[in-house]
């Protein structure tokens, strides 16, 4: 197989990266993809940085052995913990991490107050602390760690009382505070976007980094001369590392339903 025709790997701890894969297929319909959900090691967000880095490097090796031409780390936690080391180790492979939608959040109004929902590990990492510096004051950005939320979404919940109760609890400490934008800083959370939007009654923008990351991936793959020149629609192969078929069914279902 020519290198241009090789698949692009999209990795996450589970179903979250599907929110990025959907955008990738939209901007690169002729590419082939391997969707790699690492359910065997999920969740990432409550592990240590070293452990997530180790897992991600092992998965990278496995995917390179499978012949992928590029890797999109469709997971904020793994991006924060491992993307720099991955790039150092494999400089010849385009490796694209996810960018949380901080920039668009800063543009929603003159002096926005922004809440960032993400895993505990993402919010403790240097990448997030650096992004915070773009705000004029510390109190303009509120970190909201969401342990346990990915597990609810992995169980297939995207709406309903369980999700609404979780959202109410997470935002309870901000009661009465003006929030202009919510950044979904974990790739699982775009699946509950409507529920978050509804909680705020449409008064706050709810943003995620999927589309921006897909555009960046396309740019990087084109720049490396690796875009597939075929004109037939590409394929997606779904893998769940725990071998559980109900997981790959969930990936396919979310892929179909995600807008």
Task: For 137-160, give the DSSP string.
Answer: SGGGEEEEE-TTHHHHHHTT-SSS
Q: CB under 8 Å, gap of 24 or more: what pairs does 132-140 form?
A: 134/102, 134/103, 134/106, 135/106, 136/111, 139/113, 140/111, 140/112, 140/113, 140/114
Q: Which range binds ligand DGL by CB under 6 A, 39-47, 59-67, 102-110, 230-238?
A: 39-47
Rg value, the chain, Cα: 18
Q: Which residues pair with 236 in a beta bridge?
A: 33
In contact, 190 and 184? CB cutoff 8 Å: yes
Q: Which is nearer to ligand DGL, 125 or 228 (CB)?
A: 125
Select the residue interacting with ligand DGL from 122, 213, 240, 248 (CB under 6 A).
122
Active site residue 146: no
> Which residue from 191, 121, 184, 122 is spatially nearest to 154, judged by alpha carbons?
191
| Size, binding site for ligand DGL by CB under 6 A | 16
The reply on whether position 94 binds ligand DGL by CB under 6 A is no
Q: Which of 37, 43, 112, 145 binds ligand DGL (CB under 6 A)?
A: 43
Give the range of 62-70, 72-80, 105-113, 162-170 binding ligand DGL by CB under 6 A.
Answer: 72-80
Nearer to ligand DGL, 39 or 228 (CB): 39
Closest distance to ligand DGL from the beta carbon of 5 (Å): 28
The binding site for ligand DGL (CB under 6 A) comprises 12-13, 16, 42-45, 75-77, 119, 122, 150, 186-188
Q: Which residues are catalytic?
A: 75, 186
């Amino acid at each position: 197989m020519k290198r241009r025709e090789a698949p692009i790997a999209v990795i996450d701890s589970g179903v979250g990266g599907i929110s990025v894969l959907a955008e990738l297929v939209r901007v690169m319909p002729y590419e082939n993809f391997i969707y790699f959900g690492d359910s065997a090691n999920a969740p990432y967000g409550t592990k240590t940085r070293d452990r997530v880095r180790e897992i991600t490097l092992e998965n990278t090796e496995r995917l390179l052995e499978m012949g992928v031409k590029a890797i999109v780390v469709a997971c904020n936690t793994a991006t924060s913990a491992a993307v720099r080391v991955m790039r150092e180790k494999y400089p010849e492979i385009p490796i694209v991490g996810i960018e949380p939608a901080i920039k668009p959040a800063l543009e929603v109004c003159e002096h926005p107050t922004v809440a960032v929902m993400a895993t505990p590990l993402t919010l403790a990492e240097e990448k997030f602390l650096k992004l915070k510096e773009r705000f004029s004051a510390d109190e303009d950005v509120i970190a909201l760690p969401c342990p346990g939320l990915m597990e609810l979404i992995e169980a297939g919940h995207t709406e309903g009382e369980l999700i609404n109760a979780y959202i109410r609890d997470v935002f309870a400490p901000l009661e009465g505070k003006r929030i202009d934008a919510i950044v979904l800083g974990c790739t699982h959370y775009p699946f509950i976007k409507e529920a978050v939007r509804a909680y705020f009654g449409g008064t706050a923008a709810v943003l995620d980094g999927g589309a921006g990351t897909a555009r960046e991936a396309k740019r990087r793959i084109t720049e490396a001369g690796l875009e597939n020149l075929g004109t037939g629609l590409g394929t997606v192969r779904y893998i769940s590392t725990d071998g559980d078929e109900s997981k790959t069914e969930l990936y396919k279902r979310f892929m179909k339903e995600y807008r």
